[in-house]
Amino acid sequence: SSPHLVQVRERIRINGQPISKDLFNKYFWLVYNRLEETKDPVHASMPAYFRFLTIMAFHVFLQEKVDLAVVEVGIGGTYDCTNIVRAPVVCGVSSLGIDHTSILGDTMEKIAWQKGGIFKPGVPAFTVAQPERPLEVLRERAQERKCPLYLCPELEDFEEGCRALELGLAGAHQRSNAALALQLARTWLQRRGCQGLGELKEVSPSSELLGRPVPLAPAFRPTDAMIQGLRDTEWLGRTQVLSHGPVTWYLDGAHTTSSIQACVRWFRQAALNQDKPHDGSEVRVLLFNATGDRDTAALLKLLVPCHFDYAVFCPNFTEVSVANNADQQNFNVTLENALTRCLENQRTWTRLLEEKVGQDPWLPSPLRVGGLLQPAPTRGSLLLVPPAPRPLNSPALVFPCLAQALRWVAQGRDPQLAAPASGAQPHPAASSGAVLLREAAAVRVLITGSLHLVGGALRLLDPALSQ
């Protein structure tokens, strides 16, 4: 899978664990030297980063004699370097989103065409509920490739006759991922001739799936191993919460409009579930960055309703100098270019806040600065307890690296982070904000956007991950 968060070894896992440093080192040099020895003497170029790691992953799986390889495409599908497996057991397409538009196209239909490129003749494929036109494109791609394509039932259909399935990954959007995972797992187990997989049962399509051009796959009762797998699944940097004393870090690598929407829903609910300070002195901070051709204005607009007290922007670099940390280094981006992007995000955030001025802040949603959330018993939405008087404006700050940003937010209250250096405030609001952050009974920080940003933050907040 990709990208990695802290160490490149995370991309190649066996039995759920990243391969060891020794194993990575062994196979890296074996593959590198073999390619070096056999490369074209005229066009003497080595595979690029992701392509090299893909070759290496396949080699590791073959040499380690794994029974099953789960391969995630890098970008798209049709032209992705992972798409060289001619006869996979099963293929899956999860919920589509707008991303990598310069490569995949700027519409859901174009992206669906790229995703459908992984379909293979006679190999069953499954997908989840998609918008009508992109789903039609997937159906057409499956038809031209003579691939049987099915829609996964809702997760509720797998729960009939047994207790509700518990998911280790938070967020309502994970339910469709879980339904897809169940279908893929059962198909592979069936191919292996495994017994005791439970009877298939036809289900009535929900209103969302009714009338779709792709047939609905039957549901089944998950095995005990499947139930345990869904419950025990962990994926760092996705809907992850780290509680470090008065500072709670919420990490979710969301970088598309649909994933940011899911992130906001998760963050609001997760913050609601946390113990509230008795005096209501809660400070909320957004830490954000996005890279590539992503529309950051559209992403930031979706985050405004959370009404953060501060928005912090910084590049994905953990330190200003990353020479000693190759896992976190990106040779395609300079610090100057990254900071320019952060300053643009800062201006965008300020403009979005100015556009919100004058709107009624007492609507049930969005959230308001310093507000405490309570569930409305009648309709399950989020209502607000009136906060103490505080300015509605959220100062936006830019820091040159993650370490400085996290230290400013934590103000020495997180044992994993050093206190910020005195006299090194990058913005007039930083010194006054530091007082608020030091005195607040609770500080809640959402780190979202680039997965590389989340990975860098994890490296600093949980040093054990670097071991």
178 and 208 together in one domain: yes
Which structural domain, as residue segments, surrounds residue 20?
Answer: 1-69
Residues 79 and 49 placed together within one structural domain of the fold: no
CB atoms near residue 255 (< 10 Å): 24
Q: What is the mean pLDDT of residues 327-348?
A: 82
Entry field: residues in the chain:
467
Q: Which of 232, 254, 286 is the C-terminal boundary of a domain? A: 232
Domain boundary (42, 69, 96) is at 69
Residue 286 has pLDDT above 70, yes or no: yes
- Which of 13, 47, 69 is where one domain is finished? 69
What's the pTM?
0.85
pLDDT cut 70: percent of the chain above it: 85
* Cα–Cα distances in angstroms (integers) from residue 424 to residues 399, 400, 420, 427, in the given order: 11, 12, 8, 9
165-195 burial, b at 16+ Cβ within 10 Å, e below that, comes to bebebbbebbbbbbbbbbbbbbbbbeeeeee
**Could you give the number of structural domains in the chain?**
3
Q: What is the CATH number of the domain that holds 186?
A: 3.40.1190.10
Confidence class for position 418, pLDDT limits 50, 70, 90: confident
Cα–chain center distance at 293: 17
Give the residues across from 202 on adjacent strands.
none
Question: How is residue 377 written in tokens?
Answer: 């018993």
The reply to whether 227 and 315 lie within a common domain is: no
Q: Are residues 266 and 224 in the same domain?
A: no
Got the DSSP string for 310-356? EEEE--S-SSS--TT-GGG--TT--HHHHHHHHHHHHHHHHHHHHHH
Residues 304 and 415 in one domain: yes
Q: Which of 101, 405, 394 is nearest to 255 (CA)?
A: 101
> pLDDT by residue (tens digit) across 358-393?
453 433 333 333 333 333 333 233 323 333 334 444
Same domain for 222 and 301? no
Q: What is the pLDDT of residue 181?
A: 98
Across 321-330, average pLDDT: 59
Where does the pLDDT of residue 331 fall: very low under 50, low under 70, confident under 90, or very high at 90 and above? Answer: low
Q: Is pLDDT larger for residue 94 or for residue 394?
A: 94
Element (H, E) at 21: helix 21-38
Provide CB contacts within 8 A for 318, sequence distance 6+: 325, 328, 401, 402, 403, 456, 459, 460
- The DSSP code sequence of 71-113 is ---SSSSTT-TTTT-SS-S-EEE-------HHHH-SSHHHHHH
Give me 200's structure tokens.
């298939």
Q: Are 214 and 149 in contact (CB under 8 A)?
A: yes
Pairing of strands 247-252, 442-449: parallel
d(CA 127, CA 92): 6
pLDDT given at position 72: 97
* Statement to judge: residues 137 and 253 lie in one domain: no
Residue-level pLDDT at 177: 96
Please indicate, yes or no, whether residues 338 and 442 belong to a single structural domain of this protein: yes
Q: 92 and 7 share a domain?
A: no
Nearest to 60 by CA among 97, 23, 100: 23
Q: Region 132-155: what's the mean pLDDT?
A: 96
- Asked whether residue 227 falls in the same domain as residue 245, the answer is no
Under a CB-based contact definition with an 8 Å cutoff, are residues 145 and 120 in contact? Answer: yes
Looking at the fold, whether 430 and 344 belong to one and the same domain comes out as: yes
Structure tokens given for 51: 């392509």
Confidence of residue 329 (pLDDT cuts 50, 70, 90): low
Minimum mean pLDDT range among 295-309, 399-413, 421-435, 448-462: 421-435
Strand 91-93 to 282-289 pairing: unpaired
Contact 392, 357 (CB under 8 A): yes
394 and 256 housed in the same domain: yes
Residue type, 196: G
> What digits encode the pLDDT tens for the residues 173-211?
899 999 999 999 999 999 999 887 877 877 776 666 666
Residue scoring higher pLDDT (467 or 409): 409
